[in-house]
Amino acid sequence: MEGARWAFRCGSWTPSRREWLFAARCVQREEKERIGRFVFAKDAKAAMAGRLLIRKLLCEKMGVTWDEIHLERTAKGKPFLASPAPLSPSDRWSFNISHQGDFAVLAAECGLQVGVDVMKTRQPGRSSVPDFFRIMKRQFTDHEWAVIKGAGSEWMQLDMFHRHWALKESFIKAIGIGVGFDLRRVEFHVSPVHMQQGQVYRETRMCVDSKQEDTSWVFEESLLDQDHHVAVALGKVEEMNRDGLQEGDNSWISRIPPPQQFKVLCFSDLISGAIPIEDEDTDYWEDFQKKKEDPGS
């Protein structure tokens, strides 16, 4: 079955009262409460979009009725389908979400390990670009820094920085380790140097622990728009070692489906097939209305 590559432009979503209250009725109570605790509306919208993307995936790809889906989180905070259980291992879907900048994204495949990350290229707050790079120095290898700093103008360097960051985060999210993993253990050799919007690339390669290329992972890269990089890490579910790194036969790579472009969804797409599972809570809208959009508003 074909995987999913979905994106929702939550940054420009201005939900109406009807939309926000309906969305809140279509997620689990603990999810709704967690979303409500966000200080800024931008973060609440991104989190809501992420939960709706997951439920849409499980409904459409696994055939689980919306109101039967029960999600839980791993100890590291990664959401998974707790019930109903898949009928067989071949029916198991791996999915991952990310939200940053103006987008929330979801990537999913059946029978593969998946991690996704989206990054928006932007100025580093009050820091100069050189100061920002000094702060982040320990996150990249010498080779990666040479590529980043050799990209051209400061903006082009920032763009290459965020591209590398998305790749690293997609891998970390795929293996599910997160805190404690030294990001310099994985080194990316990006290709092509310049990407075009509307294309999906699988040419970037990864080396692990300063060794030769690790061919047990495939990375998809694309641009949602000129400022947003998205990276998808694809790996085999079985045969991971204690660090979450792949071991064993890599012949499975030849069977990976062709790359897909991310499909940008609208709100009506997000809730297609949705069935409310909670009562309407009008106070939830009032609380949302009181939130500032972001720290700068």
Local confidence band at 256 (pLDDT 50, 70, 90 cut-offs):
confident
Q: Is residue 282 part of a domain?
A: yes
Q: Are 224 and 262 in contact (CB under 8 A)?
A: yes
Q: What is the pLDDT of residue 89?
A: 55
Residue 234 banded pLDDT, cuts 50, 70, 90: very high
Residue reference for tokens 């310049």: 194
Burial class (CB in 10 A: 0-12, 13-18, 19+), 30: exposed
Residue 242: pLDDT band by 50, 70, 90 thresholds?
A: very low
Break the chain down into helix, strand, coil percent, rounded to 5. Answer: 35, 25, 40
Torsion of CA 250, 252, 255, 257, to 10 degrees: -90
Q: Domain range spanning residue 167?
A: 4-289
Q: What is the average pLDDT value for the chain, to the nearest integer?
A: 90
- Of 61, 87, 78, 58, the C-alpha closest to 70 is 58
Using CA atoms, how far residue 150 sits from 141, 143, 226, in Å, is: 14, 11, 20
Model-level pTM? 0.92
Distance CA 247, CA 267 (A): 41
Cis peptide before 257 (omega within 30 of 0): no
Position 294 in a domain: no
Number of domains in the chain: 1
d(CA 15, CA 267): 9
Query: Could you write out the DSSP letters of every residue in 153-203?
Result: SHHHHHHHHHHHHHHHHHHHHHHT--TT--GGGEEEE-SSSS--TT--B--
Q: Does a structural domain hold residue 216?
A: yes
pLDDT one-digit tens code per residue, 149-208:
999 999 999 999 999 999 999 999 998 876 678 888 999 999 999 999 999 999 999 998
Quick one: three-class SS letters along 40-67? CHHHHHHHHHHHHHHHHHHHHHCCCCHH
**CATH code of residue 64:** 3.90.470.20
- The predicted-structure confidence for 51-65, as pLDDT tens digits, reads as follows 999 999 999 998 899
In a domain, 251, yes or no: yes
Give every CB contact of residue 243 below 8 A, 6+ residues apart in sequence.
Answer: 175, 177, 181
- Cβ neighbour number for residue 165 with a 10 Å cutoff: 21
Residue 296 placed within a domain = no
Q: Is residue 285 part of a domain?
A: yes
pLDDT band at 46 (very low <50, low <70, confident <90, very high): very high
- Please give the residue that has the higher pLDDT: either 250 or 18: 18
